[in-house]
Structure 1
């Protein structure tokens, strides 16, 4: 878990970084499993008359925040998404994209929102957990519990040899970016379900999620979930 992703380097190639952010949209649609998470977990919480607020921690290029809002619009349900990322490069890219109604981006970490007294109905993240050592993971989860009223969903990769081999081949078309190299590092750095369950505090449940993902779930008011 000590290997570093190329895009995290402060002096990485800016052109490759921008292309990586652009390609994340397709990668997440193909591999992250968020459509199923939206249908199973988020959509049942949404309403056509009342706005549901979502905080996307580590929102990167902002594609997931926009995608969730698009799905909710299609379903005629009201959703407001705030994406936060402490990386100025990610924030600049996300904020520079065409405006999407009910989606905003803030350069911040989760701790800053806790300090400000922020509250959201749902707190999510995508492919963030594998970047975190246990103390940082514990802090993220503690912040999430403070910030979320109804649901926390942290979706991440699940370390698996088959996932590594399949992604190695599937990512070959993503040339000129960090997608393939960093994706393979991410899989190697990711937790197994047993490791993630051991690292998570009481009140969190690890659920396997296709394809080759796992979701760390907490429902306020349901301590045994």
Structure 2
């Protein structure tokens, strides 16, 4: 099948309303019966897409590196600081962060979790980065076991979640993160939709990147919507035109009481 031309891709964006979140949409990759080869190629392709659009380099410099550096100094002989990536998918974001920290002289133990065994298989099959491990589980399981991390993060997870699931993720993050939680997602807009519809054409053949990416944008939040969905203690921040962050900074470790999702 020939790739769709930019003109045809642009035409397909004209009649999609982005006035409200379209929570009725589901992404094909969330279907347990979706084509396994297309899913694998999609998860592998996220590395390229995330580097192009997800702004993790900037978020690492402005949000993560200062916290990780301070945690490294304070940890002393306790070893590496810990980072948790919730819903890690193919693991590319976590590998990038741990590798960036290593270049800055910060030893990080990165743990990526995802309940989908197909995602964990792709993550574990990727080139290994020292200090990174993956587990097939939900964040609630880590809360139940009393685990703690200096930083908890996620990428493109928020828009997948119903209201109660979002509340559960944020509660789990509060219980797990001793210093910082950063959940990054798309900022819904006409510009984001049109740009991705065209820009994803060259990398989408044989994958779900374009169709699911456009559905993701339609399910995602505007800045005001995300701010309204966050509980007290959380802040919605914008990073560039296409990226939103849900951020909580902690000055003291969370209480021992676990909050189970």
Please indicate the TM-score interval, normalised by the length of the shorter structure.
over 0.9
TM-score normalised by the chain length of structure 1: 0.95
Unaligned runs of 5+ in 1: none
RMSD value over aligned CA atoms? 1.3
Q: 1:213 aligns with which of 224, 243, 249?
A: 243
Structure 1 residue 105 displacement after superposition: 0.2
Structure 1 residue 153 displacement after superposition: 0.2
Alpha-carbon distance in 2 for matches of 1:57, 1:91: 12
1:126-154 CA-partner distances (Å, limit 9, x unpaired): 00000011111011000000000000000
Contact 2:82 2:149 in 1 (8 A): yes
Contact 2:153 2:181 in 1 (8 A): yes
In terms of Rg, which structure is larger?
2
What is the match of residue 119 of structure 2? 90
2:51 aligned with 1:29, yes or no? yes
What is the match of residue 79 of structure 1? 108
Aligned length: 222
Deviates more, 1:211-220 or 1:43-52: 43-52
Structure 1 residue 61 displacement after superposition: 0.4
TM-score normalised by the chain length of structure 2: 0.82
What is the match of residue 15 of structure 1? 37
Structure 1 residue 96 displacement after superposition: 2.0
Give structure 1 regions of 4+ aligned residues with deviation exceeding 4 angstroms.
Answer: none
1:3-27 CA-partner distances (Å, limit 9, x unpaired): 1111111111111111101110010
What is the match of residue 159 of structure 1? 188
3-state SS of paired residue (2:226): helix
Alpha-carbon distance in 1 for matches of 2:220, 2:232: 21
Measured at CA, do residues 217 and 151 of structure 1 come closer, stay the same or move farther in structure 2, by a change above 3 Å? same
2:224 aligned with 1:184, yes or no? no
